[in-house]
Amino acid sequence: MLGAGAIGAYMGAALHRGGAEVTLIARGAHLAAMQANGVTVLSPRGDFHVTVGATDDPAAAGEVDFVVLGLKAQDYAGAGPLLAPLLAPETGIVAAQNGIPWWYFHREGGPFDGRRIEAVDPGGAVSAVLDPRRAIGCVVYSSTELEAPGVVRHIEGTRFSIGEPDGSASARCDEFSAAMVAGGLKCPVEPDIRNDVWIKLLGNVAFNPLSALTRATMAEIATYPPTRAAVTAVMQETVAVAEGLGRRPDVSIERRLAGAERVGAHRTSMLQDLEAGKPLELAPVIEAVIELAGLVEVPVPAMAALHAATALLDRTSRGAGELTPAAC
């Protein structure tokens, strides 16, 4: 598990519980706590604790069958030195990320097959480190938070859908799925993992930026009429982009809104990053969708406005540069 934060530690603890050989790669106080005390998962499905290997040195793990990426997408291009000791010729890379992945058009089969998406693979820097041929798509339907170093609060959801970018059946997907199921998680192998990408993105593209801007939970955003309307507008634009690419997320907007209400007082990962002073994961969640909208000539004014506000927040909250006052 490379980048074993909340989701990575949760997945790793479950896999270890199911009998898989797991190494968690992390840093800081979280790593120190896992090395000293293992991982504790607090969950409505039942708490559990595991003692599992944890390190900040990938060479200690050596070559592995699967690398699960728990890194933020903006860190992928710089992950080469961390990945190198882990990769055997057949190692699969499972990216447990939000939004549009760098491999999206790899063996997609449509008119844009093989096209690079600049927002998530600028200049090919990510593909140079993460060969798309190694990629196994993964869409996370699970909410977790780090309650304390080494302690994961599992809020809801145990589904991690996976699939090959070309839609084929593969032994490696079956093997990974079986290990996840043995650990108590749901891990269906989907023949069209891009459908799951759009279903999950339908919520992320609106709720994640809005939560950072408002500091509100998903339920608060979904139940306050003005923000509910804003979410609906962005979701409608997202569906239009997906349809322009020949896809139709098989879930209604109302169902996604109802799901957000059920999650309750959950702070999105983007809000958690903002509060921790970390960069916001805007590229895969919203910038890539805007790029794809341009590709298929779909107007996305609500999304563009949301992105502009959130990108400015990201810039100013981290002191990423000085702003020039508007002329009077």
The catalytic site residues sit at 200
CB 202 within 8 A of CB 253: yes
CB 180 within 8 A of CB 172: no
> What are the residues whose beta carbons fall under 8 Å from the beta carbon of 282, sequence distance 6 or more?
209, 307, 310, 311, 314
Number of H helices, E strands in the chain: 13, 8
Strand, helix or coil for residue 189: strand
E strands, the chain, are: 23-25, 39-42, 48-50, 53-55, 64-69, 87-96, 135-148, 151-163
Query: One-letter amino acid identity for 213?
Result: L
CA–chain centroid gap for 84, Å, is: 22
> What are the residues whose beta carbons fall under 8 Å from the beta carbon of 308, sequence distance 6 or more?
none
Q: What share of the chain is helix, strand, coil (3-state, %, to 5)?
A: 45, 20, 35
Cα distances (angstroms) measured from residue 156 to each of 43, 44, 112, 256? 8, 8, 36, 15
Q: Distance between CA 215 and CA 301 in Å, rounded?
A: 23
Residue with tokens 């990769």: 87
CA nearest 102: which of 93, 91, 111? Answer: 93
Strand, helix or coil for residue 187: coil
Strand, helix or coil for residue 151: strand
Q: Distance between CA 7 and CA 144 in Å, rounded?
A: 6
Q: Please count the other Cβ atoms lying within 10 Å of the Cβ belonging to residue 186.
A: 14
